[in-house]
């Protein structure tokens, strides 16, 4: 089970990540402060919620302000596309890739998320910028409608490695408890065969178990809420951490 490397060091498993969905810099800073108070291990800036996303300089200024205010808190930079559950934005997919590359060069982000459904040329742009600037690349796939068969989910994890990602993320909607078990089984199978760190998430009420015990199946990060969530089924950080500790003790008994 491979942990995520942040700032040159392997992080504890699982990291608890709090989303930041503020529309302006002040809201972002307030959410980051709440995440730190809730003892999140890392924050994810969902820049698709940011009103000035079309202004790269404003994005970078806000990111640097986050880094100054919370220098010890690792940051994952993410633009989630509308097709994969995010907000509609006023810039093109090519501009999104260029923004991610500029963020990598700006030095405030530890990880950058880029969707595997993106055009190959855009993935190349972000991958090269991440490599040249020491930023970890999360290659991600999301389906807010269903859970695909186990083999398909494993293939998504494998593609993240093939694309040169440092982390492969697969997040799918659970319509039944069996769907959650499928996601966990796929994460475990991928963890046994791939060399990169993994994030496996089953969304919705039926998928909550994956957030609590996913680490036992190879998922290096899970998402919890400090102020506002970014996906169905996210739990308050305090409750999530307590559940993880119970599971960890039971597994080590």
Largest Cα span, the chain:
52
Looking at the domain assignment, is residue 4 inside a domain?
no
Looking at the domain assignment, is residue 6 inside a domain?
no
Dist. CA 55–CA 24, nearest whole Å: 12
pLDDT at 47: 98
Q: Does residue 14 have a cis bond before it (omega within 30 degrees)?
A: yes
Which residue(s) pair with 149 in the sheet? none
Task: Give Cα separations from 70 to 10, 36, 88, 224 (angstroms).
Answer: 20, 8, 28, 18
Looking at the domain assignment, is residue 78 inside a domain?
yes
Looking at the domain assignment, is residue 29 inside a domain?
yes
Looking at the domain assignment, is residue 5 inside a domain?
no
DSSP element (H, E) containing 62: helix 56-69
From the list 49, 156, 169, 206, the catalytic residue is 169
Q: How many CB atoms sit inside 10 A of residue 101's CB?
A: 23
Indicate which CATH number applies to the domain containing 105. 3.20.20.70
For the chain, 253 residues long, give each residue's pLDDT as a single digit of tens: 799 999 999 999 999 999 999 999 999 999 999 999 999 999 999 999 999 999 999 999 999 999 999 999 999 999 999 999 999 999 999 999 999 999 999 999 999 999 999 999 999 999 999 999 999 999 999 999 999 999 999 999 999 999 999 999 999 999 999 999 999 999 999 999 999 999 999 999 999 999 999 999 999 999 999 866 555 667 899 999 999 999 999 988 7
The pTM of the full predicted model, rounded to 2 decimals, is: 0.95
Domain hosting 199: range is 11-252
Looking at the domain assignment, is residue 2 inside a domain?
no
The sign of the torsion formed by the CA atoms of 126, 145, 201, 40 equals: positive
Looking at the domain assignment, is residue 1 inside a domain?
no
Percent of the chain residues past pLDDT 70, beyond the cut: 97
Dist. CA 14–CA 37, nearest whole Å: 18
From the list 2, 124, 132, 142, the catalytic residue is 142
Looking at the domain assignment, is residue 166 inside a domain?
yes
Annotate 155-195 with DSSP letters as a single string.
HHHHHHHHTT-SEEEEEEE-SSHHHHHHHHHHHHHHHHH-S
Q: How many domains, the chain? A: 1
User: 142 an active-site residue?
Assistant: yes
């Amino acid at each position: 089970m491979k942990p995520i490397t942040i700032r040159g060091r392997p992080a504890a498993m699982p990291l608890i990540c709090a989303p930041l969905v503020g529309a302006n810099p002040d809201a972002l800073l307030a959410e980051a402060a709440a995440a730190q108070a809730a003892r999140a291990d890392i924050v994810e800036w969902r820049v698709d919620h940011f009103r000035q996303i079309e202004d790269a300089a404003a994005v970078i200024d806000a990111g640097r302000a986050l880094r100054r205010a919370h220098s010890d808190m690792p940051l994952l930079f993410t633009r989630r596309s509308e097709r994969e559950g995010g907000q509609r934005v006023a810039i093109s997919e090519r501009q999104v890739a260029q923004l991610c590359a500029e963020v990598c060069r700006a030095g405030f982000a530890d990880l950058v998320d880029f969707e595997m459904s993106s055009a190959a040329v855009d993935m190349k742009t972000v991958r090269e910028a991440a490599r040249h600037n020491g930023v970890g690349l999360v290659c991600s796939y999301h389906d807010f409608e269903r859970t695909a068969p186990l083999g398909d989910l494993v293939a998504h994890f494998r593609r993240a490695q093939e694309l040169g990602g440092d982390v492969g993320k697969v997040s799918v909607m659970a319509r039944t408890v069996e769907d959650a078990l499928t996601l966990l089984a796929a994460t475990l199978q991928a963890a046994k065969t791939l060399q990169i760190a993994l994030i496996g998430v089953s969304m919705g009420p039926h998928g909550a178990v994956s957030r609590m015990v996913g680490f036992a199946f190879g998922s290096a990060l899970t998402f919890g809420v400090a102020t506002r969530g970014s996906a169905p089924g996210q739990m308050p950080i305090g409750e999530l951490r307590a559940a993880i500790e119970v599971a960890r003790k039971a597994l080590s008994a």
